[in-house]
Each structure stands twice: as structure tokens, then as C-alpha cells.
Amino acid sequence: MRKINLLQYIVIAIILGLFGACSGGSTYVEMIPANAETVISIDAKALIQKGQLDKLSELTSIKEKMEGDEKAKKFEEYMNDPRKMGVDITKEMYVFILNNNKTVGYLAALGSASDLEAFLKKIAEEAKKEIKIEEKDGYKYVAIEENFLAWKKGVFVVVGGNDAEATLAKVMKTEAGKGITSNADFKKFLGNKKDVSAWIGGVKAMIEGQGAMAEAKVNGDKLHVHLNFAKGEVILSSNISFKTEVADELKKPFEGQIKQMVTLYKGIEFEVTGSGSVIKLLLSNDSDNSLYAIIKYADENKDKMNGMF
């Protein structure tokens, strides 16, 4: 997919809107095509609460960016009141991949169509791009080279890459029960999802029987990975099960790397269950809110984080 400045502005602005948002729930996951190879679910409401994203403007890194970025200042009103963007990013968001990783789609809840259209026009003006809002089959859309942004009642969609237009049309017409939710393994995945979860295709054969993972088994049609930020710990669970002795083999290099990077680190627990495995990264006692503790650490140690934050 080509990098389009206008699309980047839109995505960045929507993400920045997390800084001041709240509330959640969604049903548009049913619109994801049945042939999606990978799906990522993001519980935005949980991340907002656990990461205290309403306080991110107090962090040094954010202050520096806002003070030194004239373009960011022009969109300050949207950061202060993200509802003006028209996209309700407090509800669940989904990313899906298909066509052998050549097409990517994003699904989120639509708040106000009129606010969204005004927001898109403002961004286009800032990026010195012209956009044309078109309408067909009950939805509106904007084409930006290989990328399409579309919306109709209750849903906002972005599709990019190969066959983006055809994929968009398919997504907007998918009926309940005929998309990805008709897949039994995906339904099981949805029932277990956490703050961030991924249903990943094309890796099962790569995982099973490889190196330290000898005799590993993926308990399902695809790999399920769930990331949850809990009190004092970060929990990574999956549907991969293997011999208990493999845990130490995997734990040592991971533990060494984490110790060097994160002073919050207290320890690691590795549990093999009947249906998969669980890795718990334990943080220091004063970091009850694990996600915010990590964000704050990154802000205070940006040099150590190699510019990742």
C-alpha cells in the first residue's frame, strides 16, 4: 500500500482523539469478510481507561510534540473534543487482512456523518489535497489513490491495498451471519478477546514443530493471541500448547532482553494450560496500572526506548 499523506493525517488524528474519549460496544465485526486471513480487535474503551489516555497531554513527549508541531495545534479542538471528528473511537475497533496480506481494512463506530465530513475536509485543506465525497449503495466514500474511506449509519471503514474498492463494496454489503462471524473458530476467539487480540492465519504450520517449539500445537484453525493489561502485570495468552520444559528455553532470552530495557520489570511467569499458554510479565509493586506505568516509563526514558515513543 502506498503511503498517502492525507490518509496519514486522518489516521493520526483519529488515534490522537483517544486522548479525551470514553464509552463502548460494537456489532460491525459482522461486516468483516468471511475470507479474512487475520483480524485484530482493539478494545479502545479499556485502553483509554487503563492507559489513562485522558492524561497523556501531561506527558513530556506529548507536550513537546504539541508545542513544536504547528499542524498538531490546528487540530487541538479535535483532541479536546474528539466527538467532533465524527468517529466514535471509544468503541471496539478492528483491523482485518486478506488477499495474501495485500489488502488491509479498518472498522470503527461512526458517531456523526456530518462531523466526519467536516473533519475530512479540514484535513484535506491542511494537506493541500482535494477530496470528493461520493455516494453509492447506501454509503458515502472518499477515494485517496489506493485507499478508500467510507461510512454509513453506525460504521466507519478504511480499506487500502490491492482490490480495495471491491473489498470495500463487499464489506459494506456483508449481511449479519455471512461474514467472519460465521466461522466457529473466530467466534471462539471473540469469546476470549482481551484489550488487544489477534486471530492470525498462515502461521499455524510455521509454529508447530519448529525448533524450541517442537511438539507445539495450535488449538484451533488459526493462532489466537490475547494481550491484557492487568493490575501490576501484563498478560499474553495464546492457544499454543507445548511441553512445560520448553517454557524455560523461551523464558531466558526474553527475560534478559526485558531486564535491560524496563526497570519496571519484577519477574516473569510462564504457564502451560490444556488449551494454550499464558505469559505474565510482572511489574514493580508501585505500578498497579500496568499500561499507564509502561507509557509513563517510555515518556521518562525516551532515549532508552530508541525513539519508539
The pLDDT tens digits for 196-226 are 999 998 777 777 666 555 567 888 888 999 9
- Asked if residue 22 belongs to a domain, the reply is yes
Q: How many domains does the chain have?
A: 2
Q: What is the dihedral of CA 217, 219, 225, 228, to 10 degrees?
A: -110
309 in a domain, yes or no? no
Q: What are the cell numbers at 109?
A: 463506530
Instruction: Tell me the residue length of the chain.
Output: 309
The pLDDT of residue 72 is above 90: no
Q: What is the mean pLDDT of residues 295-301?
A: 73
Across 223-252, average pLDDT:
81
Say which amino acid occupies 293: A
Choose between 122 and 96: higher pLDDT. Answer: 96
Q: Is 180 exposed, middle or buried (0-12, 13-18, 19+ CB in 10 A)?
A: buried
| Distance in Å from the first CA to the final CA of the chain | 24
Residue 306 lies in a domain: no
Local confidence band at 47 (pLDDT 50, 70, 90 cut-offs): confident
Question: Do the domain assignments include residue 38?
Answer: yes
Residue 72 C-alpha from the chain's centroid: 22
- Asked if residue 161 and residue 243 are part of one domain, the reply reads no
Give me the domain span that covers residue 229. Answer: 183-300
What global pTM score does this model have? 0.79
Query: Does 85 have pLDDT greater than 70?
Result: yes
Distance CA 78, CA 16 (A): 8
Burial of 67 (0-12, 13-18, 19+ CB in 10 A): exposed
Domain stops at, among 127, 157, 175 = 175
Q: What is the predicted pLDDT for the residue at 148? A: 93
Model confidence at 262, pLDDT cuts 50, 70, 90, reads low
Show which of 120, 146, 175 is a domain's final residue.
Answer: 175
* Spatial separation of the C-alpha atoms in residues 162 and 49, rounded to whole Å: 36
* 305 assigned to some structural domain: no
Residue 146 included in any domain:
yes
Q: Are residues 134 and 76 in the same domain?
A: yes
SS3 25: coil
**Quick one: DSSP state of residue 195?**
S
Residue identified by cell 492465519 is 201
